[in-house]
Amino acid sequence: MDLSGKWDGTYAYPPIPGAGPVTPFLAEIADVAGRLSGTIIEPNEFRPETARATLEGMRSDSKVDFLKIYHGAGEEYDEPVVYSGSLSDDGNVITGRWIMAEWSGTFEMVRHIEVTTASEALAEVEVDP
């Protein structure tokens, strides 16, 4: 199953004092025969800007593993993050765990599905006179 496309996600820290908030992110993935690459953007928890990262990994059957590496987001984001998850049967949801240094938590990603309205679909249809 090809994971290429846009994915809306969230990751959560463990439920302990001082841990971070549930954080939304947007991933754009290219899947070439199971090799994953792409980009991730998310709110920067320490600065009023967007944190940007790249991802590299693998997909094998329903198993999805990738490494997220931040770029220019600040020293708080120096540590790479390992994501390990499972793909749903329909191929539209990935759930699992993330791990970095002494922190770990859960994540979920949902495939971004383009929805075409009826008027958009009609506008694309050519009508012969």
Whether the predicted pLDDT of 14 surpasses 70: yes
Q: CATH for 5-124, among 1.10.630.10, 2.40.128.120, 3.40.50.740, 1.10.10.10? A: 2.40.128.120
Helix H or strand E segment including 122: helix 118-124
Taking only the tens place, the pLDDT of each residue in 23-58 is 999 999 999 999 999 999 999 999 999 999 999 999
Provide the pLDDT confidence category of residue 115 given band limits of 50, 70 and 90: low
Whether the predicted pLDDT of 118 surpasses 60: no
Taking only the tens place, the pLDDT of each residue in 78-101 is 999 999 999 999 999 999 999 998
Whether the predicted pLDDT of 126 surpasses 80: no
The per-residue pLDDT for 50 is 96
The per-residue pLDDT for 24 is 97
Distance CA 43, CA 3 (A): 23
Distance CA 5, CA 3 (A): 6
* Mean model confidence pLDDT for the chain: 90
What percent of the chain lies above the pLDDT cut of 70?
Answer: 88
Predicted structure pTM score: 0.85
Q: Where are the domains of the chain?
A: 5-124
The per-residue pLDDT for 116 is 59
Q: Which residues contact residue 113 at a Cβ distance below 8 angstroms, ignoring those fewer than 6 apart?
A: 92
Whether the predicted pLDDT of 60 surpasses 60: yes
Q: What share of the chain is helix, strand, coil (3-state, %, to 5)?
A: 10, 55, 40
Task: Please give the distance of CA 99 from its chain centroid, rounded to a whole number.
Answer: 15
